Amino acid sequence: MAEQVDGRQSRPNPETEVDDPRDFPPQEDGFQRLWTPQRMSYVLSNDKQTPPKSDECPFCIAPTKSDQDGLIVWRGTHVFVIMNLYPYNAGHVMVCPYRHISLLTDLSDDELFEFEKASTVAMKVMSVVSKPDGWNLGINQGDVAGAGIASHLHQHIVPRWNGDANFMPIVAQTRTMPILLSNQRDAYAPVFASLAKREGLTAAPAAGDSPTSFVED
């Protein structure tokens, strides 16, 4: 800090002077930003203020719809794969159990196997259909961890391409999505069905119908 001498401010004392961070340009921290301003409509919505009950949960409601209306890519015995309505990137899907449970540790052994197997199949499907350069996979457990719908477990699988974090979100607050969700679902679904069968996964008998209950007893 600068010292006062006879009411006048002297030169700064180098031993006590603290650098003002505002005097320096921002430093790179090594992180890449995947800007998703289109998700602000969800962040500002009231839909997530209270945990949804199973009969209000979008992940419980989606399997009761047709594959097209529910944006469901694949239905298994214990889990289903669905397009993300507020995607971080084009082709973003989620793997969800039918049961309305919140934690990974709540899954039964059979559910856990299919949950993880369906996630790996999703990556293979993306490799065939859209050929990404990488992926982000993640599960947010609880509101404090950033889960949008904390009461129903879901795993995000986000394809990534070199250069996908471009200037548009920064200068225009816009995320460019090169394909409609319905068209992306239509592209994924037949490939997923084929690869899932090859991987030994059992598909649900019919669209909109599952051999397991959607709601936890």
Is 152 annotated in the active site? no
Kindly write down the DSSP assignment for every residue of the chain, as one continuous string. -EEEETTEEEEE-TTT----GGGSPPPP-S------GGGHHHHTSSTTSSPPPTTT-HHHHGGGS-HHHHTEEEEBSSEEEEE-SS-SSTT-EEEEESS----GGGS-HHHHHHHHHHHHHHHHHHHHHT--SEEEEE---SGGGT-TTTTS--EEEEEE-TT-S-SHHHHHS----SS-HHHHHHHHHHHHHHHHHHTTPPBPSBTTB-SS-SS--
Residue 13 annotated as lining a ligand binding site: no
Residue 156 annotated as lining a ligand binding site: yes
Catalytic annotation, pick one of 78, 100, 152, 154: 154
Amino acid at 26: P
Binding residues for substrate: 84, 156
| Catalytically annotated residues | 154
Binding residues: 84, 156
